[in-house]
Structure 1
């Protein structure tokens, strides 16, 4: 029986063999289709990841370029702050009597220093540098540095009541925090508002209280 040729086999055997071959071909085609679909999904997923990476790279590059333009003068501006401070110190050091004396030459000198200070601050402002003078504002540890606390029940606690040295910011960054004194003993601030950052001065004030 095993030596039968195809023509010698019974018709039902031939049909069975043909069906098996057909089924085998279908199974093989189905497996190939499944494999192609899987490969297509993998390629699609890989293409989406590459597109996402390229978009992230584009955004990062644009952000870096924006930051480079916005903060290019940050180091220079920071160095110029000491010049502005010295101009203000020079003006503050002039005795009131000398100002009231009315000497034309001395007054011209004072006016010149004031004009220079204003021009410098105006130039820095055109490049995105902003002066921080937060007196009367709530203390913000991101922009202010608390130097001491002032007992004052008439204003909310952690309100800036004195600016020892103005601060400066550029864009969203701080070039120099404003050095301030904050109120202590008034009504408590809301929980959503920033508390005073602890520092050596503040810790000592708490021990003395």
Structure 2
């Protein structure tokens, strides 16, 4: 190589030349860095696999619990129809029924009980509503009932039973809610607790 600024017969200036830089990396440091990177990747992979395992277990459990939710919701309609069929027959006629009518009534009652038993067997539970504080996630208010005997917002009448499977509501309970009672529940001696004091 020759330096353009150099005069003939002179040695080129070594400092002005751009020597090829060769960076020397300590092989031990390089291996330690690679080891740290591989360890980090391994730990992340293990954590991702653990999260995937937990998520899969949760999904399988949810699928087992809620797989029949649509079918159960449809079966509730059938159970309601059986209950309404029994309500059409006056109580005195049901008690005095004989022969074919008595067999029909007993058959409808048996079908209703069996349907409810099978729903309960598969995790469908009735939502407690009567006497409970109104919960918009589990109850559907249909009307208000003037009642000063119970705290305001208490369910005093159930129009249609509600049902849930696991933590999910299949059908909210259709209820009548008390209005005009004390804002806070009464204590054991019948007095209300004033929370504003």
Query: Given the two structures, how large is their TM-score scaled by the length of structure 1?
Result: 0.71
Say if 2:91 is the partner of 1:96: yes
Q: 1:64 aligns with which of 59, 65, 76?
A: 59
Alignment of 1:190-201 (within 5 A): none
Structure number with the higher helix fraction is 1
Where does residue 129 of structure 1 map in the other structure?
Answer: 124
Work out the CA distance in 2 between the residues paired with 1:41 and 1:159.
Answer: 62
Matched residue SS, 1:162: strand
Where does residue 81 of structure 1 map in the other structure?
Answer: 76
Equivalent pair of 1:160/1:180 in contact (CA under 8 Å): yes
Work out the CA distance in 1 between the residues paired with 2:183 and 2:70.
Answer: 38
Work out the CA distance in 2 between the residues paired with 1:47 and 1:185.
Answer: 64
Q: Could you say what the CA RMSD is over the residues aligned between the two structures, in angstroms?
A: 2.1
Alignment of 1:7-86 (within 5 A): 31-86=26-81
Aligned-pair CA distance for 1:100: 3.7
Work out the CA distance in 2 between the residues paired with 1:174 and 1:79.
Answer: 14
Q: Deviations over 1:2-34 (max 9, x none)?
A: xxxxxxxxxxxxxxxxxxxxxxxxxx67x5444
Given the superposition, is the C-alpha separation of residues 188 and 32 from structure 1 closer, same or farther in structure 2, using an over 3 Å criterion?
Answer: farther
Where does residue 115 of structure 1 map in the other structure?
Answer: 110
Equivalent pair of 1:158/1:189 in contact (CA under 8 Å): no
Q: 1:150 aligns with which of 133, 145, 149?
A: 145
Work out the CA distance in 1 between the residues paired with 2:80 and 2:66.
Answer: 21
Unaligned runs of 5+ in 2: 1-23, 186-197
Q: Deviations over 1:161-206 (max 9, x none)?
A: 111111111111111111111112222248xxxxxxxxxxxxxxxx
Equivalent pair of 1:133/1:163 in contact (CA under 8 Å): no
Equivalent pair of 1:145/1:179 in contact (CA under 8 Å): yes
Unaligned runs of 5+ in 1: 1-27, 191-209
Query: Given the two structures, how large is their TM-score scaled by the length of structure 2?
Result: 0.74
Work out the CA distance in 1 between the residues paired with 2:64 and 2:85.
Answer: 33
